[in-house]
Amino acid sequence: MTREINEFDLPLMAMGKEASRAFSEQMNPTEEQMEAGKAPKCPKCGSGSVARIIWGDPVYYDGLIRDIDEGRVHIGGCCITGNAPDWHCNDCEEEF
């Protein structure tokens, strides 16, 4: 899957190669996740109320703010390591 670069991708261009790749991978769900249309259940409490974690310093546009408010996205922090968790449970706060 390829996509065009837009103004929201500019911070990625300032990142190092490893951080940029890790950020790009976390923003693009796997085929299985896209087909299922939802996040996995929490392994700790079994809740289905799970949000994708976004790492880095995102651009807070209207769609992202709405996703945060509605519990679909959780801001993880500014450091992108490549081995950080992808999901956040909105009920028990587990990150996996």
- pLDDT for 8 equals 54
Per the structure, the count of domains in the chain is: 1
Residue 37 has pLDDT above 90, yes or no: no
19 domain residue, yes or no: yes
84 domain residue, yes or no: yes
75 domain residue, yes or no: yes
74 domain residue, yes or no: yes
pTM above 0.85, yes or no: no
3-state secondary structure the chain: CCCCCCHHHHHHHHCCHHHHHHHHHHHCCCHHHHHHCCCCCCCCCCCCCEEEEEECCCCCCHHHHHHHHCCCEEEEECCCCCCCCCEEECCCCCEC
The pair phi, psi for residue 53, each rounded to 5°, is -90, 130
Summarised one tens digit per residue, pLDDT across range 44-92 is 999 999 999 999 988 888 889 999 999 999 999 988 888 899 999 999 9
- Range picked from 7-11, 24-28, 90-94 for highest mean pLDDT: 90-94
Domain residues for the domain of 85 are 7-89
